[in-house]
Amino acid sequence: MKIVVAPDKFRGSMEADEVCKAMVEGITQLFPMAEIISIPLADGGEGTAKALTLHAEGEFVSIKVYDPMARSIEASYGLSQDHKTAFIEMASASGLWLLDLNERDPAKTTSYGTGQLIADALNRGVDHIILGIGGSATNDAGIGIAAALGYKFLDSKGKELPPNGENLIHIHSIDVAHANRRLGKVRITVACDVTNPLYGDDGASMVYARQKGANSESAYLLDQGLRNLARVACKTFGEDHSRVPGAGAAGGVGAGAKWFLHGSLEPGATIVLEQTHVEDHIKNADLVITGEGKMDKQTLQGKLVLGLAGICAKYDVPIAVVCGTLAISPLEVKNAGIAYAVSIINSPMSLDKAQKEGFRLVSEATFHLTSLFFTGK
Domain range for residue 232? Answer: 48-269
**Which residues of the chain fall below pLDDT 70?**
none
Angle at 70 between CA 69 and CA 74, to 5 degrees: 105
- Best CA proximity match to 134, nearest among 326, 271, 305: 271
How far apart CA 209 and CA 138 sit, in angstroms, is 8
Can you give the pLDDT at residue 347? 87
How far apart CA 324 and CA 347 sit, in angstroms, is 12
Decide if 88 contacts 80 (C-beta within 8 A): no
Are 168 and 88 found together in one domain? yes
Are 281 and 240 found together in one domain? no
Decide if 225 contacts 165 (C-beta within 8 A): yes
Distance set, CA 96 to CA 57, 104, 193 (Å):
28, 8, 18
Domain boundary among 205, 234, 269: 269
How far apart CA 52 and CA 59 sit, in angstroms, is 10
Can you give the pLDDT at residue 349? 86
Q: Give the CATH number, domain containing residue 265.
A: 3.90.1510.10
Are 34 and 139 found together in one domain? no
Can you give the pLDDT at residue 248? 97
Are 209 and 299 found together in one domain? no
DSSP 192-209: ------SSSTTSHHHHHG
Are 24 and 113 found together in one domain? no
Distance set, CA 152 to CA 114, 160, 167 (Å):
16, 6, 12
Q: What pLDDT, in 10s, does the model give residues 184-239?
A: 899 999 998 889 999 999 999 999 999 999 999 999 999 999 999 999 999 999 99
Distance set, CA 126 to CA 49, 81, 336, 371 (Å):
15, 11, 38, 45
Domain boundary among 227, 253, 269: 269
How far apart CA 44 and CA 60 sit, in angstroms, is 18
DSSP 325-337: EE-S-HHHHHHTT
End-to-end CA distance of the chain: 17
List all residues 6 or more positions away from 186 whose beta carbon is below 8 Å from its beta carbon: 122, 126, 127, 128, 129
List all residues 6 or more positions away from 288 whose beta carbon is below 8 Å from its beta carbon: 3, 4, 5, 6, 282, 308, 312, 317, 318, 319, 320
Distance set, CA 306 to CA 84, 312, 333 (Å):
30, 10, 11
Are 155 and 291 found together in one domain? no
For 291, phi then psi, to 5°, come to -175, 160
Half-sphere exposure of 137 toward its Cβ, with a 13 Å CA cutoff? 28
Residue 306: Cβ within 10 Å count: 16
Q: What pLDDT, in 10s, does the model give residues 323-363?
A: 999 999 999 999 999 999 999 998 888 889 988 999 999 99
Helix H, strand E, coil C: the string for 348-372 is CCCHHHHHHCHHHHHHHHHHHHHHH
Are 263 and 281 found together in one domain? no
Helix H, strand E, coil C: the string for 123-154 is HCCCCEEEEECCCECCCCCCHHHHHHCCCEEE
| Domains of the chain: total | 2
Are 28 and 158 found together in one domain? no
Can you give the pLDDT at residue 47? 86
Domain boundary among 219, 237, 269: 269
Are 220 and 337 found together in one domain? no
Are 191 and 262 found together in one domain? yes
Are 165 and 224 found together in one domain? yes
Are 104 and 245 found together in one domain? yes
Can you give the pLDDT at residue 290? 97
Q: Give the CATH number, domain containing residue 370.
A: 3.40.50.10350
